[in-house]
Amino acid sequence: MTTEKTLSWTRVRALVRKEVNDFRRNRFIATTMAVLPLLFMIEPVISVFKLPADAPASKLDALVGVSTLELMLIPALIPAVVASYAVVGEREQGTLEPVLTTPIRPAEFLLGKALAAFLPTLVLAYVMYGIFLAAVGVFAHPNIAHDIFEPSRVFAQLLFTPLLAGWSIWAAVAISTRTSDVRVAQQLGSLASLPPVAVVALIGFDVIKPSVTLALGLGAGLLLVDLVAWRLVAAMFHRERLVTGARA
Amino acid sequence: MTVERDSAAPRTRDVPTGPAIVVDALTKRFGQRTAFADVTFEVEYGEVFGFLGPNGAGKTTTVRTLGTLLAPSAGTATVAGLPLTEANGVAIRRRIAVMPEQPGLYLRLSVAENLDFFAGLYELDDRRSRIERALRAVNLLDRADDPCRSLSKGLRQRVGLARALLSDPQILFLDEPTSGLDPLAARDVHELIDGLRRRGVTIFLTTHRLAEAEALCDRVGIMNTTLRTIGRPDELRERLFSKTLQLRTAAPLAEPERVLAGLPGVEGWHPSADEACGYVLTVSDPDLAAPAVARAVIGAGADLLALSPSRHSLEDVYLRLIDEDVEAQAR
């Protein structure tokens, strides 16, 4: 029962702060956020070290693409796990109703939830990518390091990390507003995060020829989806159904 | 435990004029199922209004509707001076606070962190002092840094109450605030509500604890999908039950009709179903009838053991109304 007018950043900030405090003390989320990024970073480092330095350039490209693809799983999967909790988690623990009786609007609630998943994910994903690059720079064969440090590859990684996270978060939040079980939300959320990863994979495997234009085009598409998704998910947020489980 | 006054307890705003809540023919349906229908009542500022009814009577749905969580299916309402419309949802929620049956606390967060989050949602200034005041009001200042999961159910309920007080709401909706609490914890909550009542906070209290309503509420409405009756507890007793005197003598009266009939203020009598030497007298005015009855009984040579007005509780009123509904449904 609200009319969307102005956005209150005070309320959004309050929600983000609460979420981050809560995540830190939620063993499942804390473990997920600590362990999974490490796994997704260690595995490509090992793969890169195993690459034959004398492989033909096209094959090396593909192998490097596969390795770095795993790093893309950090922004794709980690926020999905967290964002799946967004609405259904509050509902399950009985905290949604008290929050909805405050002046917070659905758009603020959802933005706060999304930012709380987005910010730690972004930090983790970039830190892991930084460690990966450092390891490659110090220990990998120069031919392979040269391929990995190729500006278009680094640019794509930096560009797609927040965009993939955005997609993943909004898909998971949307699912979270429609399901009544946290685990179902997490499973569906993880699945929903994969389509853009598939596109990135096709680029990594050279099925789709990578280019700056393609990267920018895809990036713009994902950005548009991320921005529209906020309003779409806000429109799906139905107070009455969430509180009672029924629609009038 | 009491709500401390002035500096300790959250301040209420200046009492606005007009009724706090006006409900006119309000109805809420979920598909074919009617949660409540055609409900009409008013609550004044500063009043503690009790909303009684059995489980499934529509009490919680009424609170959720007035709290803007649910849209009414029909009828109109004004809450804290604002018409209950979709456009006014945020503005109404700024002026009210709702404490649901389950306090809904973030158990991993501390008491203060829970309150700080809600203070942020209300965009309150001087959050720290407001939190301190709210916690002092419910005697929980010393537990501010404790994680909510470490608190008993009664203490969690108090945190829920502190949270509801944070924004100094014009109207406080309390939905079954003592549900599931042991008698001691329930008494604590009663004392808190009583303290708020004395400070002039407008409270809309749903409960099915009748003694609680009788002790705390200025007026009550009895709800069973429709609003069955509304009024002060003593008004309801008078409205539903005729005034009676209970008479008990040492031995049965030899000629009770001759002794009791026609006395000033006595409209009729019948033997008590509970006692062999007891009589129930229907009277128009107990103060007029009682001395006359005493004189007549003693004048007839009987030993008068007791003569007292019958006391009907709010529970009697409630049970009679709900029984009437059950009988009506059975027919």
pLDDT digits (tens, 9 = 90+) for B211-255: 888 888 999 999 989 998 899 887 877 776 667 888 999 999 989
Q: Does B34 touch chain A (CB under 8 A)?
A: no
* B52-66, B153-167, B275-289: the lowest-pLDDT one: B275-289
Q: What is the average pLDDT score of chain A?
A: 86
pTM (2 decimals)? 0.82
pLDDT band at A190 (very low <50, low <70, confident <90, very high): confident
Q: Which residue does chain A place closest to B88, by CA atoms?
A: A2
**Interchain pair B71, A240: CB under 8 A:** yes
Query: Nearest Cβ partner of B109 from A2, A21, A96?
Result: A21
Interface test with A, best of B29, B63, B90 (most A CBs within 10 A): B90
Interface test with A, best of B60, B62, B117, B157 (most A CBs within 10 A): B117
CA A33 to chain centre: 12
Mean pLDDT of B292-317: 86
3-class secondary-structure state, position B97? strand
Contact A61, A147 (CB under 8 A): yes
CA B38 to chain centre: 20
pLDDT band at A236 (very low <50, low <70, confident <90, very high): confident
Using a CB-CB cut-off of 8 Å, the residues of chain A touching B28 are 248
Using a CB-CB cut-off of 8 Å, the residues of chain B touching A10 are 120, 123
A158 versus B331: which is more confidently predicted?
A158
Q: Are strands B202-207 and B171-175 parallel, antiparallel or unpaired?
A: parallel
Q: Does A22 touch chain B (CB under 8 A)?
A: yes
B16 versus B298: which is more confidently predicted?
B298
Task: State residue B113's pLDDT score.
Answer: 97
Using a CB-CB cut-off of 8 Å, the residues of chain B touching A104 are 121
Distance CA(A234)–CA(A74), nearest Å, equals 25
Q: What is the pLDDT of residues B163-200, one digit of tens each?
A: 999 999 999 999 998 887 888 888 888 888 888 888 88
Q: What is the pLDDT of residues A35-54, one digit of tens each?
A: 999 998 998 888 888 877 77
Q: What is the pLDDT of residues A113-145, one digit of tens each?
A: 999 999 999 999 999 999 999 999 998 888 888
Q: What is the pLDDT of residues A10-30, one digit of tens each?
A: 999 999 999 999 999 988 888
Distance CA(A179)–CA(A111), nearest Å, equals 19
ipTM value > 0.90: no
Using a CB-CB cut-off of 8 Å, the residues of chain A touching B103 are 98
- What DSSP string describes B101-152? SS----TTSBHHHHHHHHHHHTT-SSHHHHHHHHHHHTT-GGGTTSBGGGS-
Mean pLDDT of A161-175: 92
> What DSSP character marks residue A94?
T
The CA radius of gyration of chain B, in Å to the nearest whole number, is: 24
Distance CA(A159)–CA(A120), nearest Å, equals 16
Place of tokens 């001395």: B291
Interface test with B, best of A24, A102, A115, A239 (most B CBs within 10 A): A102
Distance CA(B117)–CA(B99), nearest Å, equals 16
Distance CA(B25)–CA(B196), nearest Å, equals 29
E strands in chain B? 19-30, 33-44, 48-52, 74-79, 82-83, 96-99, 171-175, 202-207, 219-224, 226-231, 244-249, 266-271, 278-283, 304-309
**Interchain pair A105, B28: CB under 8 A:** no
Distance CA(B18)–CA(B81), nearest Å, equals 8
**Interchain pair A100, B69: CB under 8 A:** yes
Task: State residue B115's pLDDT score.
Answer: 97
* Exposure class string for B141-150: b at 16+ Cβ within 10 A, else e: bebbeebbee
**Interchain pair A11, B123: CB under 8 A:** yes
